[in-house]
Structures are given as structure tokens and as C-alpha cells.
Amino acid sequence: MAKKKAAKKPAAKKPAAAQKPAAAKAGSQVTHESLRTTLRAAAERFLAANRKALKDETPYAFLFEIGTQSVHAHGALATEEGLARSVAEEDDPKLAAKAFRWGSTEDGGWIQQPDSAFAEANAQLARARDAGLFQELDEDEAFEGLCLDVLRELDAADTFGTGAARKKIALGVCGIGGPEVPGDLLLSVKAVNPPEVWKRVKREADECEDAQGELD
């Protein structure tokens, strides 16, 4: 995954009462709770760094990209405007937009930086993996379940808006680089989004596969 340096801005200080639980320090015991807290903080840093895109454009997706073999997580944000820019010079922009919308996160104008927002979370995830924390269940399912829990927490805090604004954005989990097949994303989308969002993404995923076939 290509990395670009993101400008660092000093974090605004909060009153002591408003501080969130601190992530586990290196060497301390890693628990599901500390992982959830750290992963949520990583997502919030990623979204804060991209607040201009969230404010000035129309986001249609925020995904956790996860690697299950080495257990690591990253963020991917997509906007309608970013998608349109990415296909503007294609022979058939409308067809390309359908093909890229739920295809690889390396295409279609997806925002994947700053990846540094997830550095602390990934260090803790590596320790959790080494400690066997994910072996209580199937490792892939346990890790994806953790990510889904974090998305639910962010959604409950109105991180992605409310009402009509919330329904414009789909939350989900996919493999690194995006879903190999757009339909692979649907189970996670169904788990953490309003029913109308899932139905829309299902339709778009079908259109995506058809468009990819035409482009091939």
C-alpha cells in the first residue's frame, strides 16, 4: 500500500473528564477491550485527518481493510467526487465508475492515508496475535468481528452523521486492496448499516461485477 506523508497537526487538548481510555502501553496486557479502544482511536485519527473530504465532498464508504494472516488494519475512505475524478479520463467514465466503486481500493480515488493513524493499533494487534488472543474463535472471524464492533461504536457516536446523511455512507470490512469480489463485502455491510444502505450496496456490487466484466 502506497504511503504518503501526512502533515501532522497538534492534537487539541481535552478536559481530563473528556479524555478517552488510554490505549494499552507496550508491554502491558492486551485485551479485546484495549484493542477495541485503540482501533477506534486509530479510525478517529484517520477520519479527522480527512475531515476536509468528509466536509466538502460526499463520502459513500468507510472501510476497515484488514490483513488476517499477519493481523493488521488500515482505513479506506471513498467519496462520490473522488470516484468521479478518478474515472474522468476513461473511455467510458460511467462504466468505469460502476466498476471501480466497489472494486479495488487501489483504484477509484479511494483515500488510504494517513496510514500512520493505525501504527499504534497495528503494533498492539501484532502483540495480540502473538499472545493467541484471536485463537479463541476462528482467527479471521474474530478479527473481523472486532472491526465490526468498532464500526458499531463509531456509528452509535454519530461519527458518520444521522438521518439522510448517514444513509449516504456504507461501513464495512474488506481484505487488503479491497474485496476480491464486490459481493464479499456484503456480509459486513449488512451487519453494521441500515437495511436501505445494504440494499443499495448490494445493487451497486452487482453493477460493479457486471461493469468489470465489460471492461475486461
The C-alpha atoms of residue 209 and residue 11 are separated, in whole angstroms, by 42
Segment 127-166, tens digit of pLDDT: 988 888 876 545 668 889 999 999 999 999 999 999 999 9
Is pLDDT of 48 > 70?
A: yes
Segment 83-114, tens digit of pLDDT: 999 999 999 999 999 999 999 999 889 999 99
Higher confidence at residue 12 or residue 32? 32
Q: Which of 8-17, 115-124, 156-165 has the lowest mean pLDDT?
A: 8-17
pLDDT of residue 138: 57
Q: What average pLDDT score do residues 198-211 get?
A: 96
pLDDT of residue 13: 37
pLDDT of residue 4: 39
Higher confidence at residue 157 or residue 32? 157
Please report the DSSP string for 110-175 in residue order: -B---GGGGHHHHHHHHHHHHTTGGGGS-HHHHHHHHHHHHHHHHHHTTTT-SHHHHTT-EEEEEE
- DSSP strand pairing (59-67 vs 170-175): parallel
Angle between helices 195-215 and 93-101 (to 10 degrees): 120
Q: Specify whether the CB–CB gap between 53 and 62 falls below 8 A.
A: no
Mean pLDDT of the chain: 86
pLDDT of residue 28: 62
Say whether the peptide bond before residue 114 is cis (omega within 30 degrees of 0): yes
- Grid coordinates belonging to 139: 482467527
Q: Which of 4-8, 128-132, 155-159, 196-200 has the lowest mean pLDDT?
A: 4-8
Residues 6+ apart with CB under 8 A from 36: 146, 149, 150, 153
The C-alpha atoms of residue 23 and residue 156 are separated, in whole angstroms, by 20
Q: Specify whether the CB–CB gap between 32 and 146 falls below 8 A.
A: yes
Q: What average pLDDT score do residues 45-73 get?
A: 92
> What are the strands of the beta sheet with 59-67, ordered from one edge?
72-79, 59-67, 170-175
Structure pTM?
0.83
Biggest alpha carbon–alpha carbon distance for the chain: 56
